[in-house]
Structure 1
Amino acid sequence: MSRPMRALIASRLFPPEVSAGAFRLGALGRALARRGAEVTVLTTRPPKHAPAVADPPGVAVRRWPVLRDRGGNVRGYIQYLSFDVPLIFRLMGRRFDVAVAEAPPTTGLVVLIVAWLKRRPVVYYAADVWTDGVVSMAAPRPVISVIRGLERAVLRGSRGIISVSDEVTARLIELGADPARVTTVGNGIDTAVFAPDVERATDDQYFVYTGTMSEWQQPDIFVRALALIADEHPNVKLRFFGQGSVQSALRSLAEEIVPGRVSFGGVVSPTASAAWIRGAVAALVSIVPGIGYDFAKPTKTYAAAAIGTPVLFAGPGAGAELVRSAELGVAVEFTPEAVADAMRALLAEMTDGRTESRRAERAGWAAEHASLDAVAARVSAVVSQVALARAGKLNKASGASSRPE
């Protein structure tokens, strides 16, 4: 193409929303703009609690009102449809050479259909496997079948598929993705924001949990573990930042078994989150075993590593192995007793100076292996290759070497 590539990103999540998906796509928008692409993002109006941030330079962000749940999330079938249905008309009125779609699969399917009508390729950003998600929530069998069918259709119709880990890649291929179209790019975090030299939020002793509080994480395990060490460590607290479907139950449990020892700070900016992680004894991460998420490597692990704060990981699978192999902290079984023992050990490490002595090493690992900008550069390369491959086919068919469309 003799003119700049026109790239379009369609997602319900985009900065200033505070989520891993929003961070990924914000970084991708910046990376595409740096490549000289004309980038348009079709997304949602952010919730009221979202921090105020400027749109990425060189990226045109077009927002649309959507239905949100009581926590301000676009989460649930009706909420998804409130984004997906208008997206059909928003896409029809846009010119683009390549479209990038992120989950849920309903959004991917909408983008795929409109792109097919316009004869444009789609790159699907598969940061998660939605079929596994609905299985883990014990959804009715017909719902699981519909989601599996939608996800397979999107994977088979996309010219490029982005995966965040080898484990996710394996699941995508099992669902019908063409291995030749899948690129594993890894996961990352903004190492300019999450860095070891940020100022700590407070000098109190606490463990911190940031991000989504959901059924497949069940962070109540950390509250139950705190109750087991509460008398030994009367000044230690838990601090939760974020929101999610189990937050209300989590509050009730905390008031029942460790009153006054657990606080909930709501959704905070990445800068504030980094400050709280910097001062923590450890960052808490959990995955419930056996419900289909054993392959997950939560982004909060990378955030803690980038700051140099140890991770306390409760659960099985790839996330636990990452923490152990990279020596990012402690990974234990998903039981309150195991978590309580890990809390004791990490409190001892903070007291005797071992936590601080390992900070630079952990942050160095994150800078090398988990830079969000590096991940976004790899994704933008895939998007560009898909667009250029289509342009090359058109030029070959028309007998022209290069012709603007």
Structure 2
Amino acid sequence: MSARAAKGRAVVIASRLFVPEVSAGAFRLGALARGLRGRGAAVTVVTTTPPAHAPRVPDPIDVDVRRLPVLRDRGGNVRGYVQYASFDAPLLFRMLFRRWDAAVAESPPTTALVVRAAAALRRRRYVYYAADVWTDGVIAMGAAKPVVSLMRAMERAALRGAARILSVSAEVTERLVGLGADPRRIATIGNGIDTEVFSPDAVPPEPDERYFVYTGTMSEWQQPDVFIRAFGLIADEFPDLRLRFFGQGAVEGELRTLAERLVPGRVVFGGVVDPSRSAAWIRGAVAALVSIAPGIGYDFARPTKTYAAAACGTPVLFAGAEVGGALVRDAGLGEATAFDPEAVAAAMRRLLAEAASGESERLRSSRAGWAREHVSLTAVGDRAATAVLDVLSGGDEAAS
């Protein structure tokens, strides 16, 4: 749909996450909102009050952002069934009593089901933004079979009711089709990073310090303890070297305990930082650490951390599942290793040698260029906006 045709059409985005929260989901939806506004649509975002640690920045002036308090876990995340319900329960009423022509529902599937009910009552259509597959996630967490069955049923209902489904990768698309999604309704739009914020122009906070950096979520799916264990194997060889972690997550406490036991005083946890600060730390690192634990249900993932590092021109050290590793190898973004401390330690040694020789700096421009060409978040937001507005022009029919 052209900008002229979209003018005056109203789109509502329903999500527990939105900028300024520091998460890949919030960034994706911010890009979608900008893409929709660029095409002339009126955009309302129904979301939550940011946590205390979120950067203090104003909401976009051309987007109507409606926020309400929500229950969060100890880390400030809307993560868990009770937390999801605290957003989903009032969402139906918030959707019913405002004007919109199409809606976009971000995960979890419970939110999509609420949006599906509102769409049915309002005789409107909705789009489901599938950044990952939640059924795989609950399986990976070792949930009981009844919980897995319930999640699978909810996710299938969310997919089948959507007029269009936005997928972040070919691998996610394949999993969605396996759950029963109609492939004709899936738009594989990719995933990306803000290449204006994450760029080689970022200024390192500690230019003389040697460190590896991990940014973002620390969860059961990443299991970033592999990097601390690997660091423990080489720490004596490189007494000036540090590990720096930024972000938070369910396993952060375990990581802190492990670090204090293996390499006391050598691993720094910096908490949640805004994107520009994260980019600066990535820019100055020997390499950025990225992991996906293999065999627990997320082997298809391509972490946004990889794109952030590439956009800064910083090498990636990826440990784990084959899809993420193949991305790093095929694009020449750094090192991809087995999910094993010894293998990771060997890759750390190689990357330290490349940094010392000047090889990493020589490749910085080409890696950043790859990111600008292939994983620009602006381009992803534009593709997502096109798919959403196509629904308003009758591109697909909603399922019964």
Q: TM-score, normalization: structure 2?
A: 0.97
Corresponding position: 1:171 with 2:175: yes
Corresponding position: 1:293 with 2:310: no
CA contact under 8 A between 2:7 and 2:40: conserved in structure 1?
no
Pick closer, same or farther for the CA change 1:52–1:139 going to 2, 3 Å.
same
Equivalent in the alignment of 2:160: 156
Gaps of 5+ in 1: 394-405
Alignment of structure 1 residues 126-137 onto 2, 5 Å: 126-137=130-141
Equivalent in the alignment of 1:243: 248
Pick closer, same or farther for the CA change 1:81–1:334 going to 2, 3 Å.
same
Equivalent in the alignment of 1:358: 363
The CA deviation string for residues 256-315 of structure 1, in whole angstroms up to 9 with x for no partner, is: 010000010000000000000000000000011100111000001000000000000000
Alignment of structure 1 residues 5-404 onto 2, 5 Å: 5-203=9-207, 204-389=209-394
How far, CA to CA, are the matches of 2:393 and 2:101 in structure 1? 9
3-state DSSP of counterpart to 2:393: helix
Matched to 1:298, the amino acid is P
Pick closer, same or farther for the CA change 1:391–1:60 going to 2, 3 Å.
farther
3-state DSSP of counterpart to 1:215: coil
How far, CA to CA, are the matches of 2:87 and 2:397 in structure 1? 33
How far, CA to CA, are the matches of 1:44 and 1:316 in structure 2? 33
Matched to 1:115, the amino acid is A
Pick closer, same or farther for the CA change 1:19–1:391 going to 2, 3 Å.
closer
Shift of 1:54: 2.2
Shift of 1:3: 5.5
Matched to 1:154, the amino acid is A
Pick closer, same or farther for the CA change 1:76–1:392 going to 2, 3 Å.
closer
Pick closer, same or farther for the CA change 1:392–1:351 going to 2, 3 Å.
closer
3-state DSSP of counterpart to 1:239: strand
Shift of 1:51: 0.3
3-state DSSP of counterpart to 2:299: coil
How far, CA to CA, are the matches of 2:185 and 2:249 in structure 1? 33
CA contact under 8 A between 1:11 and 1:103: conserved in structure 2?
yes
3-state DSSP of counterpart to 1:358: helix
Matched to 2:270, the amino acid is G
The CA deviation string for residues 314-345 of structure 1, in whole angstroms up to 9 with x for no partner, is: 00221111000001110000000000000000
How far, CA to CA, are the matches of 1:286 and 1:160 in structure 2? 30
CA contact under 8 A between 2:286 and 2:351: conserved in structure 1?
yes
Matched to 1:67, the amino acid is L
How far, CA to CA, are the matches of 1:257 and 1:300 in structure 2? 25
Matched to 1:99, the amino acid is A
Shift of 1:392: 11
Shift of 1:55: 1.6
CA contact under 8 A between 1:121 and 1:390: conserved in structure 2?
no
How far, CA to CA, are the matches of 1:227 and 1:2 in structure 2? 56
Matched to 2:342, the amino acid is E
3-state DSSP of counterpart to 2:394: helix
Pick closer, same or farther for the CA change 1:166–1:390 going to 2, 3 Å.
closer
Matched to 1:185, the amino acid is I
Shift of 1:198: 1.0
How far, CA to CA, are the matches of 1:317 and 1:65 in structure 2? 39
CA contact under 8 A between 1:296 and 1:317: conserved in structure 2?
no
CA contact under 8 A between 2:6 and 2:40: conserved in structure 1?
no
CA contact under 8 A between 2:6 and 2:41: conserved in structure 1?
no
How far, CA to CA, are the matches of 1:321 and 1:4 in structure 2? 44
Matched to 1:221, the amino acid is V
Q: TM-score, normalization: structure 1?
A: 0.96
Gaps of 5+ in 2: none
How far, CA to CA, are the matches of 2:104 and 2:36 in structure 1? 11
How far, CA to CA, are the matches of 2:170 and 2:43 in structure 1? 29
The CA deviation string for residues 114-165 of structure 1, in whole angstroms up to 9 with x for no partner, is: 1111111111000000000000000111110010000000100000000000
Q: After the TM superposition, which segments of 4 or more aligned residues of structure 1 sit over 4 Å from their partners?
A: 390-393
